[in-house]
Amino acid sequence: MDRLEIDGPCRLQGEVRASGAKNAALPIMAASLLAAAPLRLARVPALADVRTMGRLLADLGCSVRQDESDPGGWTLDASALSSCHADYELVRTMRASILVLGPLLARLGEAEVSLPGGCAIGARPVQVHLDGLRALGAEVAVRDGYIRARAERLVGARVVMDQVSVTGTEVLLMAACLADGDTVLENAAREPEVVDLAVCLRAMGAKIRGEGTSTIQVQGVGRLGAAEHRIQPDRIETGTFLAAAALTRGQVCVRDTDPQLLEAVLRKLRLAGAALRTGADWIELDMGGKRPRAVDISTAPHPAFPTDMQAQFCALNAVAEGVGVVTENVFENRFQHVLELSRMGADIRIEHNTAVVIGREALDPAPVMATDLRASASLVIAALAAQGTTVVNRIYHLDRGYERIEDKLAGLGAAVRRVK
């Protein structure tokens, strides 16, 4: 299993380009199942989760082609969609496979998708997805570990979601596009990835209004057609590089990104003492060599501070001046990085869903590992501030969500090696 060896301490300096967003690419790839026509995508990130989604789509009978000249260019064509069965073997490796549920049901009238199991960061139920499909007229049952959904034609309805769920909103949005009549999704997730999906669906011919607000309106259409779409920049990858720059007292410009996607994160970085400058598609952070100040964080659905940046800010607080109180409100078990950061000498106490982080001048190197993606990212950036060589094990989690992270960090001056 690959690991990363990181020699600290270092001060990150230079420019880095953001990749396309994993959590936008996955639902948009699933959306290709809605049309019997090609969907050409640009800026699809080269990630393990994206490859898994590609395999799942191919399994369902969708033609999946990656451009030879442009590694981020994919053409997905579900003209010959032949199966409605998403198998356990693929779903168990990636929970986001649940995204195919809505499109399969809408297009074929039935879907059989393995129920995603437990997850390292929390229970992660999919009740919102299932109740919403029932509200659109589907019969939905869970049997033998599979979600079995049927509906000759989905019928538009007003759906009030019990919880704000990102993939729940996306599944229902995709299903509603081909439903008979109008759908109103209430208590919808407002995450930028939902907006990117809506933009792509609209390019395919869907009639959608209100994405980015908590009420999304969809007027069902008979069919969707061919389209082209460029995946939005990854706000979490962008935020991870900015947090790394702040924690190493460095100066980094992230290009090909969008500052509007991460306002809550930028606000906290300013409070941490960073000087920030932004343009339409870049963000520059300069710590002027200063140690960051600790910041309090409380996670919640967009536009509040994202849970996917919580672990990285624990790492930032661990070397900051002062005490940072980090409250995780979205997932019940998302503090796995804390024990590993403690092995690097971080001073962190957990009480219920709150981590109290007392900053130290520097961290110690140690062998560490994590069982989820963002926790792994926090260990990598913490290692940049450690006094010696840290080994981050089990980095297949990182490969699920960060494109060539070691090359990008090396481009900013970090000494990072991947060891096979």
Give the residue numbers annotated as catalytic, written as ranges: 119
- State the nearest-atom distance from the C-beta of 189 to ligand EPU, in Å: 6
CA distance 362 to 383: 10
> Using CB under 6 A, which of the segments 39-47, 66-74, 159-167, 276-284 binds ligand EPU?
159-167
The answer to whether residue 126 forms part of the interface with ligand EPU (CB under 6 A) is yes
CA dist 346 and 114 (Å) reads 40
Q: How many residues bind ligand EPU (CB under 6 A)?
A: 24
Q: Which two tokens stand for residue 290?
A: 């200063």
Does the footprint of ligand EPU cover residue 374 (CB under 6 A)? yes
Q: Which is nearer to ligand EPU, 307 or 312 (CB)?
A: 307
- Binding status of residue 14 toward ligand EPU by CB under 6 A: no
Q: Does 352 bind ligand EPU (CB under 6 A)?
A: no
Residue 213 neighbours by CB distance under 10 Å: 11
Q: Does 147 bind ligand EPU (CB under 6 A)?
A: no
Query: Is 401 a residue that touches ligand EPU (CB under 6 A)?
Result: yes
Query: How would you label 139-163 residue by residue, b for 16+ Cβ within 10 Å and e otherwise?
Result: ebeeeeebbbbbbeebbbbebebee
Chosen residue from 79, 82, 127, 260 binding ligand EPU by CB under 6 A: 127
Neighbour count for residue 1 (Cβ, 10 Å): 9
> Using the rule CB under 6 A, is 122 a contact of ligand EPU?
yes
Beta bridge partners of 167: none
The answer to the question of residue 123 lying near ligand EPU (CB under 6 A) is yes
Q: Whole-number minimum distance, CB 400 to ligand EPU, in Å?
A: 8
CA distance 220 to 217: 10
* C-alpha dihedral (155, 156, 159, 164), degrees to nearest 10: 100
Are 83 and 60 in contact by the 8 Å Cβ rule? The answer is yes
Q: Cβ of residue 374: shortest distance to ligand EPU, in angstroms?
A: 5
Using CB under 6 A as the binding rule, whether residue 330 contacts ligand EPU is answered as yes
**105 or 166: CB nearest ligand EPU:** 166
Residue 23 sits in the site that holds ligand EPU (CB under 6 A) = yes
118 near ligand EPU, rule: CB under 6 A? no
Beta strands (DSSP E) in 8-102 are: 13-17, 38-42, 63-66, 74-77, 85-86
CB of 164 to ligand EPU, least distance (A): 6
Residues forming a β-bridge with 347: 358
Q: Nearest approach, Cβ of 9 to ligand EPU (angstroms)?
A: 27
State how far the Cα of 30 lies from the Cα of 378, in Å rounded to an integer: 29
Q: What are phi and psi of 366, to 5 degrees?
A: -165, 155
Which member of 79, 118, 153, 163 binds ligand EPU (CB under 6 A)? 163
26 binds ligand EPU per the rule CB under 6 A: yes
DSSP 301: S
DSSP character for 344? T
3-class DSSP assignment, residue 246:
helix
Q: In the block, which residue shows the tokens 């908590």? A: 214
- Counting contacts by CB under 6 A, is residue 390 touching ligand EPU? no
Whether 243 and 313 have beta carbons less than 8 Å apart is answered as yes
Q: Which stretch binds ligand EPU (CB under 6 A): 57-65, 69-77, 166-174, 315-323?
A: 166-174
Tokens read off for 92: 């168990």
**By CB under 6 A, residue 1 contacts ligand EPU:** no
Binders of ligand EPU among residues 268 to 307 (CB under 6 A) are: 307
Binding segment for ligand EPU (CB under 6 A), chosen from 121-129, 197-205, 206-214, 215-223, is: 121-129
**Terminal Cα distance for the chain, rounded:** 6
Looking at 196, 284, 308, 340, which residue binds ligand EPU (CB under 6 A)? 308
From residue 182 to residue 201, what is the string marking binding to ligand EPU with x (rule CB under 6 A)?
-------x---x--------
Q: Which residues bind ligand EPU (CB under 6 A)?
A: 23, 26, 96, 122-128, 163, 165-168, 189, 193, 307-308, 330-331, 373-374, 401
